[in-house]
Structure 1
């Protein structure tokens, strides 16, 4: 029997995917307000997304159907959108066509990362202290100056603690975060995070929250980088708990957007990619930059998460590639967990 969807998690996913879009637009501005907004968003939105992805992957055991769902729902879309972005770059900017399948374009890194985390799930479950191991990996691997975004390696390792945390969460933990007291604490935590972003934005780079390279690449010593990485992990943890606490647990008018996050995530990369190569938002009044980021991001999320857009692009976003599979399993329950992109 298919599992009943949890509207709370769908609401959380809808909020987080909206923040992804808002954050990507805000990063194209150059005002302090845009920096503050993007710093605040990046301090917690991807950690929270990864935690939810881990939580929804708890039933992953590596069956043939589950592995196939990774191929069909994550790797095939990754290849398609990677090629599409390369084609856009050639058409719009007269650049040589090169899809660079080993180096994710724009925001497509998450599709590769989620595929890797799910494939690693049985191994992670076999560890006695998986969260401690994941934190050590996240903090220690950036000592390697060669760590980069090839095959999303840096982010797979950097965000690994949040995926493992999601694997270890139980429904009762989410229930505890839905209590009124937790909701008030979560709202206060997000407000404090915004205040911290006001202080930090002019003094540090939002890139410390990307977790996408070595400490040297961020011009940090190994010791300073390790300290900053630990602080980023703590910020992501607190922000994740806060989001889970403040987002409504009951179905809302926008809940269904949370069931279509793959469509929003993949297509916003296509539609916003030209913006990342231009200065259309730069040097505008800060009010304009923030308004375009917030209102434009919410409207684009609503469009890409709508029923008509899903129906229109389904064959491209989730193509039928059964012909690639030579030995389909029979007699096993298929994995119905949707990609948490």
Structure 2
């Protein structure tokens, strides 16, 4: 029974990972258009209410067996390698071609979406401490609220996002599908659709600053440093939890091609920004005006996600994304097995 339940949980989370990476690509593709399209602006905000928290949760789920043993050190090294290589590549390309506004070239300030890699490295190390504490989830929420009062910039070392989203990582770590009440798992999709519609209305009525959903800014940077500002962060947490439950109700629980694609989301995550940022730097989004053209942007985002999951793309990019990193084993246990990607369910880190 335990094996079946664990497999069901894996399938559920892999299906969720594919849908989430699809939303990541969609959000990044429509971001250049949100100022000219109220519909895209609402969609963009709605996606941000759940796609980062849920991706963090899925990452936490696949970190269940993390320890500072040989496989654990291997996974940390792979995450560090991804950050080192892609921070260098994206920074170099930005300096030469992308010229994104407000970018500071530093290994201590993750470039764009690479904050997730830096935070993932930290989340795994934080697990070693928090799994020994009583009420770790409650403590992590308190820390996520308090970090907003920090007197330094939240983007430095991805410090703000690391602590703000850590509760979702812990939730994924402790997640077991068989222990979730069936009423929640099988939440009526109509109610979830109504809930998401309500969130859209709320986001438009309150004119929420997207920076609150990015969670990379301190309260000072958000222009709202008061003793009670932590209550706003708590409200954002509640909004993200409701939106996440609504999202999860639409995630399939049975194996399918989505499950297989969910194993390789790291390829989409690391590669898609090369395409989107090139399109932005070439001014392609400035030609998007009509509803038909905006619909085409959504279709192209889905097509790009599908393309980057194809086997030939993985084979071509594997030497960069999944290289042999055997030098770290010196003095440690020797093994002939090839290192697995940290986010793969076939990895030693499950």
Q: Which bracket does the TM-score occupy, shorter chain normalised?
A: 0.7 to 0.9
Structure 1 195/93 Cα, relative in aligned 2: closer, same or farther at 3 Å? closer
- Cα RMSD (Å): 2.9
SS at match of 1:107: helix
Higher alpha-carbon deviation: 45-54 or 3-12:
3-12
Deviations 1:53-111 (A, max 9, x none): 11221222222221211212x1101111111112212332589x985211111111101
Give the C-alpha shift of residue 327 in structure 1. Answer: 2.6
Name which of 310, 323, 328 aligns with 1:306.
310
1:227 has 2:218 as partner: no
Deviations 1:257-304 (A, max 9, x none): 211111000001222223455654258436257424421221111111
Task: Indicate the residue corresponding to 2:268 in structure 1.
Answer: 264
Give the C-alpha shift of residue 25 in structure 1. Answer: 1.3
Distance 1:160 1:282 in 2: 37
SS at match of 2:32: coil
Structure 1 299/59 Cα, relative in aligned 2: closer, same or farther at 3 Å? same
Deviations 1:13-68 (A, max 9, x none): 00000000101111111222221111000011100111111122122222222121
Higher alpha-carbon deviation: 274-283 or 313-322:
274-283
Task: Indicate the residue corresponding to 2:53 in structure 1.
Answer: 47
Structure 1 175/253 Cα, relative in aligned 2: closer, same or farther at 3 Å? farther
Distance 1:326 1:4 in 2: 34
Does the 8 A contact of 1:57 with 1:337 survive in 2?
A: no
Structure 1 175/268 Cα, relative in aligned 2: closer, same or farther at 3 Å? farther
Structure 1 249/71 Cα, relative in aligned 2: closer, same or farther at 3 Å? same
Give the C-alpha shift of residue 307 in structure 1. Answer: 1.4
Distance 1:259 1:76 in 2: 19
Task: Indicate the residue corresponding to 1:64 in structure 2.
Answer: 70
Deviations 1:126-159 (A, max 9, x none): 1101111111111111111314212211110111
SS at match of 2:73: helix
Higher alpha-carbon deviation: 24-33 or 258-267:
24-33
Distance 1:94 1:183 in 2: 43
Task: Indicate the residue corresponding to 2:90 in structure 1.
Answer: 85
Does the 8 A contact of 1:178 with 1:246 survive in 2?
A: no
Gaps of 5+ in 1: none
Give the C-alpha shift of residue 189 in structure 1. Answer: 2.4
* Match runs of 1:7-26 below 5 Å: 7-26=11-30
Aligned length: 334
Task: Indicate the residue corresponding to 2:202 in structure 1.
Answer: 196
Distance 1:235 1:289 in 2: 31
Distance 1:255 1:274 in 2: 30
Structure 1 135/338 Cα, relative in aligned 2: closer, same or farther at 3 Å? same
Give the C-alpha shift of residue 171 in structure 1. Answer: 2.7
